[in-house]
A and B are shown apart, each in its own frame.
Chain A
Amino acid sequence: MKSSLKLALGLASAISASTAASTVAHAEDLTLCWAAWDPANALVELSKDFTKETGIGMKFEFVPWTNYADRFLNELNSHGKLCDLIIGDSQWIGGAAENGHYVKLNDFFDKEKISMDDFVPATVVGYSEWPKNTPNYWALPAMGDVVGWTYRKDWFSKPELQKEFKEKYGWDLGPPTTFDQLKQVAEFFQKRQIDGKTVYGASIYTERGSEGITMGAMDVLYSYGFQYENPKKPYEMEGFVNSDKSVKGLEFYKALYDCCTPPGASNSYMGEGVDAFKSGQVAMHMNFAFTWPGLQKDENVGGDKIGYFVNPKGPDGEQFAQLGGQGISVVSYSDKQESALKYIKWFANKDVQAKWWSLGGYSCLNAVVKDPKFPASQPYAQTFLDSMAIVKDFWAEPSYAPLLQASQKRFHDYVVAGQGSAKDALDGLVKDWTQVFEDDGKM
């Protein structure tokens, strides 16, 4: 009896000891929060090296893009401790900095000799700085991204199509360099029969719920001369947001939607765009560069069948592209800030950044992207570099969410629902944005 009691006690102690040990082992596990997309899978793979080096385990909380902002902004606003590290969207930086959600990284960067000069300047301004263009850093540029285009190289190179196109438009069928050319190409392919299947001109962003149509429309508007505000007088938007050039840009976006998108593409964003391109529905496809590695590898449309081009120029020759991408930040409510900072230090390392690019992430480190071998490292590498050189971003103000909601509504009402004119939409946008800034006491 005694021996069985001892055995039972021994087992119980062993079980509780092992449970305690496992609790200790996992106590320092870091949780990294990000969107559920291809680069996140690459980061999981990359982070195994971090665990190997430091013994700190990594857990991941990935949320689909459509819920990404809702989910994580809720988490930050409620001072939740779920995320130790967060790869937050570029537009969150103002709000996250001013509301104390992110740890300011200046001292840490100084201590660890991490210099922001080592990163692509546009990504530092876009992902790390608040206020913009001041040396106040809240994130390390983690994932460079920008809106660009893919096209069906195999369709473009069909001799009969090239001949027909040249006769119709007077220039050689190829990646368009201006938006007018882009529309001509899209019109040319719209409802055309290719390999016994009806295909369409282009897939563009039209999504209503989160940020889709704003990202798409802005991607065009910038090159038409749209400006968020008077460069000499902050928050003065009249005549800039709703300038004649902006109106023309928005009219163009609607015309492109009306003439050349697949049927029913009224709520299309990144995922729907990828689906349209992968299923061979469209000749051209607007999307963030993060989608390119996956498309390049696709058996049906990848390899030699796919080509990439930078966002085309506007009517006056101006050329810009919508910035995407994110920086990685330490959440100020985390109890494991020290370990989280270790991860940032590790992630900033040149070799880690090189591996990040090789796994399908987009490094923002100059040493990686300015390497002479970089442009040839992937078929889309040069387009990515060229695109990153012309980026512009949406407001990154603390009130970015109401600003975004206003543009989503105004653009969707005009472009997709066909209500009112482009001028009405942009005048309305000035009114909405003015109201937001007045509420914030900035006007």
Chain B
Amino acid sequence: MLNRTAENVARATPEPLARKVRGISDKGLAWLFISPTILLLLAINIFPLFWAIYLSFTNYRANRPNEVVKNLGFANYQRILGDKDIWIAMQTTAHFVFWTILLQTLIGFTLAWLIDRKFRGHAFWTTLILVPMMLSPAVVGNFWRFLYEPQIGLFAYAISFVTGIPPTNIQMLSNVSLAPWSIIIVDTWMWTPYVMLICLAGLRSIPEYIYEAAEVDRASNWRQFWSITLPMALPFIMLAVLFRGIENFKMFDMVNLLTGGGPGSTTEVASITLKRQAFESWRTGYSSAFAIILFVAVFGLANIYVKALNKVKQR
């Protein structure tokens, strides 16, 4: 009876497909299945990357397909690294990334910590706080542009109400000093909930018994925060910083919608400069070199950061 069952099972078990397809091993078959995906990835990710690397050494311009493409060696790279305007754009980007990350981390973590208290109605407040993150950047950009309007904008009127400065003097998008902050405010408003969510996940992952043990040892709330909460939530905070850092390094939509890089070039972040060179001035080779430099910078920094993150996790 047992033997017959075993025979039936063996008969019902399908023969390895590879044996049916003559000459193809299991490994070969696996490659066969994943090859369309790999080909697609090669076509839309890897090939453009290598093509951009090739173009970065040339004088190619996409709007002049009939022109002879010359090899310029490292001339594009030299020109970019020696261009004062490019460095100003990089500084603007760094300023934007630094302040947005700092504000979003501080406010996001504070919010997460408060929400984690599980007070009455915390679920409602969590949902409410998440709303900005769910909106489209195009909507947020246009919406804030109206809010910042010195003549009709609510933001100007609110500041005016508090400070007594006439609203027409509060020109957030036109003033050289205020324009970078106007973008930082909007990005912080929109993306703090995202940081909050990640931090909240971190806070909720801390086992309750650790706090109970600390209570037994009569550790103060302050001590519990510094010795338990913050160290255990740190990998999550660092992860949020990494995600926001990469996102904001390539920030384009919000800047484009709010200021277009102006007034003058005061909010012209690297991605706006790149877009202008690539699709307005049509310096394809030059802009490819700039894109490669940005890619290497982000990739390098992200790698260093991930190593640091792993060390923190291993502690």
Contact = CB atoms under 8 A, between A and B. Distances in A.
B263 A263 contact: no
A73 B63 contact: yes
Nearest to A100: B66
A267 B63 contact: no
A170 B144 CA distance: 45
A208 B174 contact: no
Given A263-B168, A263-B171, A77 B65 contact: yes
A413 B264 contact: yes
Given A264-B174, A267-B259, A417 B264 contact: yes
A406 to B, nearest CB: 8
Nearest to A73: B63
B193 interface: no
Contacts of B130: none
B282 A401 contact: yes
Interface string A188-207: 00000000000000000001
Contacts of A74: 279
A303 interface: no
A209 B266 contact: no
Contacts of A405: 276, 280-281
B64 A209 contact: no
A417 B267 CA distance: 11
A398 B283 contact: no
B178 to A, nearest CB: 11
A439 B277 CA distance: 14
B154 to A, nearest CB: 14
B151 interface: yes
B266 to A, nearest CB: 6
B265 interface: yes
A413 B169 CA distance: 20
A209 B282 CA distance: 15
A208 B261 contact: yes
Interface in B252-290: 256, 259-266, 276, 279-283
Contacts of B148: 264
B280 A264 contact: no
Contacts, number: 96
Nearest to B171: A264
Contact of A263 (B64, B169, B259): B169
B108 to A, nearest CB: 31
B176 A418 contact: yes
Q: How large is the interface on A (under 10, 10 to 19, 20 to 34, 35 or more residues)?
A: 35 or more
B173 A267 contact: yes
B262 A417 contact: yes
Contacts of B202: none
A126 interface: no
Identify which of B149, B169, B176, B256 gathers the most chain A CB atoms within 10 Å of its CB.
B176
Contacts of B171: 263-264, 266
A412 interface: yes
A418 B260 CA distance: 17
B81 interface: no
Contact of B173 (A98, A100, A264): A264
B63 A99 contact: yes
B150 interface: yes
A305 B281 CA distance: 42
Nearest to A412: B264
B216 to A, nearest CB: 61
B55 to A, nearest CB: 15
Interface in A386-424: 398, 401-402, 404-405, 409, 412-414, 416-419
B62 interface: yes
B263 A208 contact: yes
A95 interface: yes
A262 interface: yes
A98 B65 CA distance: 11
Nearest to B256: A209
Identify which of B168, B173, B256, B263 gathers the most chain A CB atoms within 10 Å of its CB.
B263
Contact of B261 (A76, A209, A402): A209
B273 to A, nearest CB: 10
A70 interface: yes
Contacts of A402: 280-283
Nearest to A404: B280
Contacts of A208: 259-264
Contact of B262 (A69, A77, A100, A267): A267
A167 to B, nearest CB: 27
Interface in B92-144: none
Contacts of A398: 64
A99 B64 contact: yes
Given A402-B281, A439-B59, A266 B173 contact: yes
Interface in B236-261: 256, 259-261
Contacts of A98: 64
Contacts of B264: 208, 409, 412-414, 416-419
Nearest to A402: B281
Given A401-B280, A402-B281, A209 B260 contact: yes
Contacts of A76: 63
A70 B64 contact: no
B279 A70 contact: yes
Nearest to B64: A99
B262 A412 contact: yes
Contacts of A207: 260
B150 A264 contact: yes
B173 A413 contact: no
Given A401-B280, A401-B281, A417-B265, A263 B150 contact: yes
B281 A412 contact: no
B283 to A, nearest CB: 7
Given A402-B281, A417-B263, A417-B264, A264 B151 contact: yes
25 contacts: A73-B63, A76-B63, A77-B63, A79-B65, A98-B64, A100-B66, A208-B259, A262-B151, A264-B148, A264-B150, A264-B174, A266-B173, A266-B262, A267-B174, A267-B260, A281-B151, A401-B280, A401-B282, A402-B280, A413-B265, A417-B176, A417-B262, A417-B263, A417-B266, A419-B176
Q: Which 7 A-B pairs have the closest CB atoms?
A: A417-B264, A266-B174, A413-B264, A402-B281, A208-B262, A263-B168, A264-B150
Given A99-B65, A208-B264, 13 more contacts: A76-B63, A77-B62, A77-B65, A99-B64, A209-B261, A264-B148, A266-B171, A266-B262, A267-B263, A401-B63, A412-B263, A413-B265, A416-B174
